[in-house]
Amino acid sequence: GQQLNQSPQSMFIQEGEDVSMNCTSSSIFNTWLWYKQDPGEGPVLLIALYKAGELTSNGRLTAQFGITRKDSFLNISASIPSDVGIYFCAGHQRGPNFGNEKLTFGTGTRLTIIP
Amino acid sequence: KAGVTQTPRYLIKTRGQQVTLSCSPISGHRSVSWYQQTPGQGLQFLFEYFSETQRNKGNFPGRFSGRQFSNSRSEMNVSTLELGDSALYLCASSLAGAGGYETQYFGPGTRLLVL
């Protein structure tokens, strides 16, 4: 199945460092979403972006919807231990049915904080 | 309020068997989506149900099916299990779809192992 290209695949950082990850696609998306998944849990929505060029923050998290609508990035500032987990981007394309249509997910970025 | 619940949490089956997984959405949510998560393919959309009707469908074979009941609870069924069906199956519920991902919440998933 289709997946979005997400990089980096994994990151090892020290507490307090800033983190940056991005997602690219060959297709245009109407919505970009960023999720975090902890072990044994389902993904939790962090940020939703609905407009090209949009820059949105949620606490220490900042995400942007690329101008071309084919990419998005997520930044985490001043990382803390609870930031550990897997981060996924997801893109949504609006179709003929106005509803909760399918999301295409990125391959994930595993974030590890080194003590 | 209670979150999305999925039962069972863990399941072991053998090739050729069939399996039924259950998802109880958040009270008031009418849309239920199912996803398959594997290390190789990542998160892949299976299908979405709204008001007992399948509204959107991903690219999975006909062995994967689902249904939704009048109380919005949903089940998915996989017949003639294959080894490659081993995965975490996630269900997500939302109020009414319509691109409102802020109201979509994932359950913890059912981990299926096919031997």
A59-113 per-position pLDDT tens digit? 999 999 999 999 999 999 999 999 999 999 999 876 555 544 678 899 999 999 9
B-chain residue closest to A88, CA distance = B43
Q: Which residues of B touch A40 (CB under 8 A)?
A: 108
Share of chain A above pLDDT 70, in %: 91
What chain B residue is nearest to A49 in terms of C-alpha separation? B101
Q: What pLDDT does residue A115 have?
A: 81
HEC profile for chain A?
Answer: CCCEEEECCEEEEECCCCEEEEEECCCCCCEEEEEEECCCCCCEEEEEECCCCCEEEECCEEEEECCCCCEEEEEECCCCHHHCEEEEEEEECCCCCCCCCCEEEECCEEEEEEC
Residue B105 has a pLDDT of: 92
Whether residues B56 and A103 touch (CB distance < 8 A) is answered with no
Identify the pLDDT of residue A1. 61
* CB-based contact B106 A43, cutoff 8 Å: yes
Could you tell me what percent of chain A has a pLDDT over 90?
77
Region A33-44 average pLDDT: 94
d(CA A27, CA B65): 28
Nearest alpha carbon to residue A109 among A81, A76, A80: A76
Between residues A36 and B57, the one the model is more confident about: A36
Q: Sign (positive/negative) of CA torsion B112, A87, A46, B54?
A: negative
**For B39-90, what is each residue's pLDDT tens digit?**
888 899 999 999 999 988 888 999 999 999 999 999 999 999 999 999 999 9
Residue A100 to residue B100, Cβ atoms within 8 A: yes
